[in-house]
Amino acid sequence: MTDLFRSLSKSGRVGEIKVTEEDGGGDGGKKKKMLVFPDNGGTFPADTLTRVSRGKAGADPYSLYALLHAVKEGEKAVGPYIRSARTDFGLQYYVSVIHRKEVYGYFTGTTNKCSLLIAKEKRNDAADRAQVDAKGVSREAKAGEKRELKRKTSEKKKKRQKRISDEEQFYRNRNTVMLSARSLSDVLDICKRAKHEFIEKSKIMSKGRKIAGERDFKPIIIVPAGRKSVISLANIKTFLIDGVLETNPGARPRGDVLLERTLPGAASNKCEYRVVDSVRKFTANDWKHVIAVFAQGAQWQFKNWALGSPAEIFDECKGIHVMFEDEKVNPVIKEWNVQTFGVSRGNRNFDAVKAHLVWDSIDKHMRVKFPAFYRS
């Protein structure tokens, strides 16, 4: 399938691949994107995994839809390329900016080698599970068909048992001495209701434990360590919590800064954020919990970051740049997926409004990355 896609790309026929939507079947009834190859080349789910590695340990390879986006949009600049992946294609994991030149060159025929290509005998289990048969039907789809067949068989069995039960006749003789003259059907109803209530309570408790586990950490916000930055560890709390920007803050506080606030739309949910200006002691778990990064506009700010290049960092985290309104926007900031907020250098009357807008942008990103915080 990967070789077939490359053949179409090299011949300039990648535009003939049609994107359609089909019912998801056993997948909750959701519409599922399908890629229809020309010349009866087959129909494949858009999320079919290919033999092109993402270059990260433990991560699934790139999907077929991600390769289609890389070939169609590969010559665009970084910003438009990332925006088209999100808006036009709706991709969560697209071919990264680091890999796109190599992937584009290989599939369009400019080069004959690709270091990301996985040898067929070394493909991982995730890729094997996503293989499709000659008819273009994935194994997941077949599993869904089996579950549906099992459900229908179970329903037929229940109907047959009910018919037999309805046709039974009650018979009493001298051997049925243990039969009571009083009907016990009400006792059976009570037991059924008690069982149903127990199951429902168990579901609620299980859901509560799951949500509590999903909230059992502090989302992390990273700010610049440089003293020339408008936002730093010394004034982040007064700006975001008190709504007042200190343009000449005091000494840097020792250790991390904690911010506590009530989340919008969830009156009972309070969230505590951890703000840092150094990632030297970050663990792999810390990187998973980073929700926002305040960018100063210098490449050195992201030196030795585990998340990769700035383009990849601001794909995973909310990028924020706070600057004075009388300054020009840093050209580097314009190249990144960063939202800019201008504040007055001397007038503090509108600081609270700007702080509210910053929180609003963080909440929108956090609802997608950590939705459990917003559930009541």
- Please state which of the ranges 174-183, 274-283, 333-342 shows the lowest mean pLDDT: 174-183
Sign, CA dihedral 99-103-105-108, equals negative
Residue 255 CB neighbours (<10 A): 8
pLDDT (0 to 100) of residue 135? 46
Percent helix, strand, coil in the chain, to 5, is 45, 15, 40
Of residues 280, 348, 337, the one with CA closest to residue 94: 337
Identity of residue 320: I
Query: Has residue 341 got a pLDDT over 70?
Result: yes
Please give the residue that has the higher pLDDT: either 72 or 268: 72
Average confidence score pLDDT of the chain: 81
Helix (H) or strand (E) holding 369: helix 351-369
Give all strands of the β-sheet with 257-262 in edge-to-edge order. 257-262, 270-276, 220-222, 290-294, 318-324, 338-343
Q: 227 or 285: which carries more pLDDT confidence?
A: 285
pLDDT value at residue 332? 92
DSSP 200-223: HHHHHHHHHHHHHHHT-S--EEE-
Give the SS3 label for residue 117.
strand
More confidently predicted of 299 and 180: 299
The answer on pLDDT for 288 being more than 70 is yes
pLDDT score of 290 more than 60: yes
- Which range is least confidently modeled, 18-27, 216-225, 263-272, 337-346? 18-27
Instruction: Please tell me the least confidently modeled range out of 1-5, 277-281, 290-294, 310-314.
Output: 1-5
Q: Which residue has the higher pLDDT, 375 or 48?
A: 48
Cβ atoms of 271 and 373 closer than 8 Å: yes
- Per-residue confidence (pLDDT) for residue 362, from 0 to 100: 95
On the question of pLDDT at 24 being above 60, the answer is no
Q: What is the pLDDT of residues 354-363, one digit of tens each?
A: 999 999 999 9
Tell me what pLDDT residue 334 has.
92
Residue 242 has pLDDT above 50, yes or no: yes
Say what the pLDDT of residue 212 is: 47
Structural domains of the chain, with CATH: 2-141 (no CATH), 220-374 (3.40.50.11990)
Residue 86 in this model has a pLDDT that exceeds 80: yes
d(C-alpha 56, C-alpha 77), whole Å: 24
The answer to whether 302 touches 226, Cβ cutoff 8 Å, is: no
Residue 136 and residue 42 in contact, taking contact as beta carbons nearer than 8 Å:
yes
Report pLDDT for 3.
73
Which residue matches tokens 């989302």?
Answer: 219
Q: Which residues, including other chains, have CB under 8 Å from residue 211's CB and lie 6 or more apart?
A: 372, 375
Q: In 3D, which of 139, 143, 142 has the Cα closest to residue 130? A: 139
Give pLDDT tens digits for 26-65: 555 577 888 888 877 788 888 888 888 887 777 788 888 8
* pLDDT above 70 coverage of the chain, percent: 81
Nearest to 271 by CA among 234, 235, 243, 240: 240
Are 301 and 229 in contact by the 8 Å Cβ rule? The answer is no
Output 71 or 341, whichever has higher pLDDT.
341
Any idea what the Cα angle at residue 81 is, between residues 79 and 87, rounded to 5°?
95
50-54, 200-204, 214-218, 273-277: segment of lowest average pLDDT: 200-204
Q: Which residue has the higher pLDDT, 48 or 209?
A: 48
| Residues 370, 314: Cα–Cα separation, whole Å | 16
